């Protein structure tokens, strides 16, 4: 007996789950969802699980490891976020969930808009111009740092300076680096360090964080303080990927606090090499000058009357060479750094002063010798009306008995020379 029953289209649980999955994924391929984060947890594999909720509903969310490593902001329980992703289902439990790709705190859009407005304003005023940026001093001796005294940024800076150049003094202006009052205090810190004596460069710094954490360094008050600073300013805010208004206004942007310290402090080896080059240039200049003086003296030296003076000059030149050689072999720069780790500028100034005094001493002696040479010079005697008489062989005649009547002679005057012949010999009368 046949029964008249309606046809039943029966689905398996898997079929229903699959159909729901297809419908949801087709409809919600790219959505933004806003809600408060709760039930936050991470798996050993690096996936992040949490729930987004509002007053009336909640939505499971997951951010898999390959997306989580690129999140600029990390989710926090109790904080409201906007999340971008796509809806899918977890068929094993029959639940739908949001697969997260981008996550940012609520209010981030407004911050971006504020950032861009201020950036355009300051750029139009020329505060980012390369022409107004000043070079850093090559060998700073005192550095001012504006940051939190408990920050990792300060520890990094001090560690690098201690390793590379422990002769640099650091003056810290302690301040908050995030929060409502941070911008005001940072600006005050920059202004205060400009009033401190002997500050060579100012470093404004903090470690990484979210856009909201770094926001004080995007405030106009901080930008203005950096722009009016009389000392060069290095901005080292956040990590390498972070950019702030402070970075754009500062004379130099360092990607990290450690990098700022590396820029400030040249290594002892770098300074030693520069000092060596300076010593070499000074020594070469001194040798060249002495060579010029020798050539000048050579043009003045020609007769026997110069022998004594020439010997004195040679002895003095040899002494100068000995002093130059000792300067090179002693390794003044190594001694300076090995004994007391003095600053390069002090060593350079000492060497320069020593060289200047030595060269002035040489020039003084040379001037004195030149006067002596001029006094002894036969040319000076000839200028007074005397003459030098030579025979045909060029030998100077000092005794009338050395020549005969009708002998040819040459008489050297101050200007020119006479060719004569002896007509009479008159012997000096004995008294």
Digits of tens for pLDDT over the chain (431 positions)?
Answer: 555 667 778 888 888 888 888 888 888 889 999 999 999 999 999 999 999 999 899 999 999 998 888 776 788 898 888 899 999 888 777 788 999 998 887 876 767 878 888 999 999 999 999 999 999 887 788 999 999 999 999 999 999 888 877 778 899 999 999 877 899 999 999 999 999 988 999 999 998 887 878 889 999 999 999 999 999 999 999 887 778 999 999 999 999 999 999 888 865 556 667 778 888 888 888 888 777 777 766 665 555 545 555 566 667 767 766 766 766 665 554 454 444 455 555 655 666 666 667 667 767 777 777 777 666 666 666 667 778 888 877 788 878 888 888 888 888 887 788 888 888 887 765 44
- The structure tokens listed for 362 are 């040489």
- φ and ψ of 375, to 5 deg: -65, -35
Given this model, what pLDDT does residue 230 score? Answer: 94
Given this model, what pLDDT does residue 211 score? Answer: 80
Q: What is the CA radius of gyration of the chain?
A: 44
Given this model, what pLDDT does residue 193 score? Answer: 96
Q: E strands along 91-200, which residues? A: 95-105, 142-147, 169-174
HSE toward the beta carbon, residue 241, CA cutoff 13 A:
7
DSSP-assigned states of every residue in 206-275: E----TTTTGGGGSHHHHHHHHH-SS-EEEEES-TT---HHHHHSSEE-SSHHHHHHHH---HHHHHHHH
DSSP-assigned states of every residue in 308-376: HHHHHHHHHHHHHHHHHHHHHHHTHHHHHHHHT---HHHHHHHHHHHHHHHHHHHHHHHHHHHHHHHHH
- φ and ψ of 86, to 5 deg: -135, 150
**Helices and strands of the chain, counted as H and E runs:** 13, 13
Cβ–Cβ contacts within 10 Å for residue 425, how many? 12
Given this model, what pLDDT does residue 340 score? Answer: 47
Given this model, what pLDDT does residue 266 score? Answer: 67
What's the full length of the chain, in residues? 431
Sign of CA dihedral 366, 367, 373, 377: positive
pTM above 0.85, yes or no: no
Given this model, what pLDDT does residue 285 score? Answer: 81
> Which residue's structure tokens are 């609520």?
106
Structural domains in the chain, sorted by start: 13-106 (2.40.50.140), 128-264 (3.40.50.261), 268-376 (no CATH), 384-421 (no CATH)
């Amino acid at each position: 007996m046949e029964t008249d029953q309606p046809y039943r289209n029966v689905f398996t649980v898997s079929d229903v789950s699959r159909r729901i999955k297809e419908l949801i994924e087709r409809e919600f391929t790219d959505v933004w969802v806003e809600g408060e984060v709760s039930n936050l947890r991470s798996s050993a594999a690096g996936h992040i699980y949490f729930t987004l909720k509002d007053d009336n509903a909640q939505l499971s969310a997951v951010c898999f490891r390959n997306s989580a490593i690129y999140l600029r902001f990390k989710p926090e329980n109790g904080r409201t976020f906007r999340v971008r992703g796509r809806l899918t289902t977890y068929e094993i439990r029959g639940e739908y969930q949001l697969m997260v790709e981008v996550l940012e705190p609520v209010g981030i859009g407004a911050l971006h808009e504020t950032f861009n407005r201020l950036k355009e304003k300051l750029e139009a005023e020329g505060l980012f111009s390369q022409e107004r940026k000043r070079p850093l001093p090559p060998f700073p001796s005192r550095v001012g740092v504006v940051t939190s005294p408990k920050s990792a940024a300060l520890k990094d800076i001090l560690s690098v300076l201690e390793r590379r150049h422990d002769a640099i003094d650091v003056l810290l202006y302690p301040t908050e680096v995030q929060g409502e009052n941070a911008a005001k205090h940072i600006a005050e810190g920059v202004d205060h360090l400009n009033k401190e004596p002997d500050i060579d460069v100012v470093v404004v710094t903090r470690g990484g964080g979210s856009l909201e954490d770094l926001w004080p360094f995007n405030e106009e008050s901080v930008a203005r303080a950096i722009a009016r600073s009389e000392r060069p300013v290095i901005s080292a805010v956040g990590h390498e990927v972070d950019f702030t208004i402070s970075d754009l206004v500062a004379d130099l942007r360092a990607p990290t606090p450690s990098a700022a310290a590396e820029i400030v402090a040249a290594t002892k080896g770098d300074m030693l090499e520069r000092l060596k080059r300076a010593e070499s240039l000074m020594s070469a200049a001194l040798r060249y000058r002495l060579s010029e003086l020798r050539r000048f003296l050579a043009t003045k030296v020609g007769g026997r009357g110069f022998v004594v003076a020439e010997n004195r000059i040679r002895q003095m030149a040899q002494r100068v060479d000995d002093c130059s050689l000792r300067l090179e072999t002693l390794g003044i720069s190594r001694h300076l750094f090995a004994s007391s780790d003095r600053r390069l500028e002090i060593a350079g100034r000492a060497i320069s002063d020593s060289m200047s005094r030595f060269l002035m001493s040489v020039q003084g002696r040379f001037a004195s010798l030149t006067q002596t040479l001029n006094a002894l010079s036969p040319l000076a005697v000839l200028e007074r009306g005397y003459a030098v008489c030579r025979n045909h062989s060029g030998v100077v005649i000092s005794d009338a008995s050395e020549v005969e009547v009708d002998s040819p002679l040459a008489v050297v005057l101050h200007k020119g020379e006479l060719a004569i012949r002896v007509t009479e010999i008159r012997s000096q009368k004995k008294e």
